[in-house]
A and B are shown apart, each in its own frame.
Chain A
């Protein structure tokens, strides 16, 4: 008998107040079945919006299912809160870190079930147990350290330790590697194997195909809220998985019809991100797509934000069309024809509470309505045009951005950028966390833009995307550029990785 069985889980779509809409054929989850054996790592894949996260939130007690049942050891259970789930032995490690930075490791691990002695906190005992726990997990972190003073990976370990300390039999990991470096991923995987050996079952949500084989025992695919099927380890074939995910064979994702021109649109000379980091120099030509590779946290976003004037930089010069820019300021640069698409669309790319129309026109108001007053239909025409060009799936132009799916949200942000009629487009992780179908459309769009002569600077952590799209690649490490790769032939995952991690950095 399986350790866990989820049968016929159904979740209807709901309005913005959380009330289920039952009278539709569209459902978030449609009679999904899922089972988990003891001591296995079960990978859950699917495009964005396929229902993976929702299914796991149902299991983790965060949202109630509308129909269906959950059997744990054959007994029906119904977790009503995260704590309920934890008490049942189901731990959820979220994509966003779930720790209080201003508290110590110890206080975080015992949050909500503090050990007490005569009603008072028993600090010593909590410290001792945390120390034991961390040692057991093979890491050496002082339980009295404040969490905010730890690295992202260390924080993730603490989170796993916290979940583990509830004696969880099932641990759900939602894209745990999305912000980890390669070394850190190795540590995480070692930990997963260790947990597995102790009989803990793990549900592992991921977008990264290369991880499946390394950790997975079985793999289940969801698509459009429906259960598609489960593969055993022997049957893990990328093509097979992808075709199950998208329901069709994957065609050519990357298009390269653009031709780089000669004139330099952007030139950065000896810019420093911090006073102590090495100076950065780079250039982007007309109609060229230049990729920036490197680890998350290597300073790529900081570089983009520095060029765009959203962040302070030190020394150096930025030339645009050959002329040095005197003042780096987003408002000035947008008016000059430079636009930056942020990596975080929800907090920096969109106004979630505004409609599609208002979002698309936001960066172009100065152009559409130079005389302050907003009369006429220019805005609506622009928005309709962009929604059409980018194939945004929506009900109406007034639909709020919050209610769109990730891929469509990203298209709206891209539409906002294109509406400014840029000459230089800086893209920061343009396809992060969106489904394969939307990805292909965005790649097509980027290629089209470059073909029209726009210079594109693209930051990406997705190696195939970086290699597939770029004409040239810069690789960053520790706040500086370590190499420029100009030849297509040299653009190999291995070479880029080597530069990313650094020859001496050592892959553990």
Chain B
């Protein structure tokens, strides 16, 4: 294995520790337990989105509908709750809607061969636009306590949001590493033709992956509404970039076929820590967006360049490797 890849998890872990230490030593209150709990509570939204987005990027796609979907599903849950629909039913309806939205993007990509970024951009815009229609551009709020508990309550001192996050991440890890479809998802990112020749309906895998991403975004949207106790038609927007940034920082390759769900959660933690530190330092959100934008471009650029260099390195010359094959 290439050293850069072998040590990648270790390097990322090191980066997290470093981020926390730097945060802790320079930023007052960062390591304060209350603040820390806040960070991990807020990072759950990004991490849940990232569980889906990771798989989408692994199959060489991208999901630009996350922001719209988070908003749409939050608004839908808000609308239903406002009409007095019981909490579980409102949540289930929102999750179903989000999954359906993911399925539509997936169908566009899988069956009409629309590039993923276009399909999801379109769907993202439609959902974002539709979110304004729910209440004529206004927000919903004052949800039932049971709903707010999901976002703001805690069990044994740990926010409920984080239990939900852990469930999502574990489910993501389980699907991608323990189930046959996991291998196929990675295989699809590696070489789609191989799967087709093996009789696998790759369109179905794409549908599955985009549906999962839609489901994750919907869950994040509902959870966000619960955390904020409000659903506003723009509140999902920041999570678009953050979810992608989390995956990229976590080492998911834009070239497909590589990346781990668990590392994306670490990426989410890093992103949220950075945002939190900047908040504590009273840096305006204008600057935060600039920083996240720069981080995304920087990390992708570095990974693309190391990949290119690695490809060059493996250009070995024949006659040398013939002997390696001992009959």
Contacts and interface: CB of A to CB of B under 8 A. Distances in A.
Interface of A: 81-84, 86-87, 92, 94, 98-103, 107-108, 111-114, 116, 119-121, 138-140, 146, 149, 151, 153-154, 157, 181-184, 187, 190, 273-274, 277, 295-299, 302, 312, 477-479, 500-502, 505, 508
B326 to A, nearest CB: 6
B22 to A, nearest CB: 34
Interface in B307-327: 312, 315-327
Interface stretch (B90-98, B110-118, B143-151, B193-201): B193-201
A140 B190 CA distance: 24
Given A87-B199, A98-B197, A101-B191, 12 more contacts: A100-B186, A100-B194, A103-B183, A103-B190, A111-B198, A140-B326, A149-B1, A181-B318, A182-B322, A187-B325, A295-B319, A302-B317
Nearest to B187: A100
Given A101-B191, A184-B325, A116 B317 contact: no
A87 B199 CA distance: 10
Contacts of A298: 317-319
Contact of B322 (A114, A119, A274, A505): A505
A140 B200 CA distance: 29
A312 B315 CA distance: 12
A353 to B, nearest CB: 15
B200 A112 contact: yes
B246 to A, nearest CB: 21
A275 to B, nearest CB: 11
Interface in B121-148: none
Contacts of A295: 318-319
Contacts of A151: 321, 324-325
A210 B87 CA distance: 76
A100 B190 contact: yes
Contacts of B321: 151, 153
A112 B322 contact: no
Nearest to B326: A140
A395 B62 CA distance: 41
B237 interface: no
A152 B199 CA distance: 24
Interface band, chain B: 35 or more
16 contacts: A81-B199, A83-B198, A94-B197, A102-B186, A107-B187, A108-B194, A116-B180, A153-B321, A181-B322, A184-B325, A297-B316, A477-B319, A478-B317, A478-B318, A502-B319, A505-B323
Give the interface SS of chain A, mostly helix, strand, loop or mixed.
loop
A81 B201 CA distance: 11
Contacts of A84: 199
Contacts of A146: 1
A292 to B, nearest CB: 14
Which of B186, B190, B320, B322 lies at the interface centre, i.e. has the most chain A CB atoms within 10 A of its CB?
B322
4 shortest interchain CB distances as A-B pairs: A83-B199, A297-B318, A112-B198, A100-B190
A448 to B, nearest CB: 33
B44 to A, nearest CB: 27
Contact of B190 (A81, A101, A297): A101
B189 interface: yes
A505 B319 contact: yes
A103 B186 contact: yes
A261 to B, nearest CB: 32
Nearest to A83: B199
Contact of B325 (A121, A153, A477, A478): A153
Nearest to A145: B1
Contacts of B179: 119-121
**Most chain-B CB neighbours within 10 Å: which of A100, A103, A502?**
A100
Contact of A297 (B187, B198, B317): B317
B184 interface: yes
A501 B178 contact: no
Given A82-B199, A111-B198, A112-B200, A302 B180 contact: no
Nearest to A147: B190
A403 to B, nearest CB: 20
Given A82-B196, A101-B190, A508 B327 contact: yes
B257 interface: yes
A138 B322 contact: no
B195 A111 contact: yes
B197 to A, nearest CB: 4
A111 B187 contact: yes
B286 to A, nearest CB: 39
Contacts of A183: 322-323, 325
- Residue with the greatest number of chain A CB neighbours at <10 A, chosen from B190, B191, B257, B319: B319
A501 B320 CA distance: 10
Nearest to B198: A112
Contact of A102 (B180, B190, B325): B190
B190 A479 contact: no
A114 B180 contact: yes
B194 A98 contact: yes
Contacts of B326: 139-140
Contacts of B200: 83, 111-112
Interface in B20-72: none
B327 A187 contact: yes
A119 B174 CA distance: 12
Given A82-B199, A114-B183, A98 B193 contact: yes
A153 B319 CA distance: 12
B191 A100 contact: yes
A134 B189 CA distance: 26
A298 B317 CA distance: 5
Contacts of A479: 317
B325 A154 contact: yes
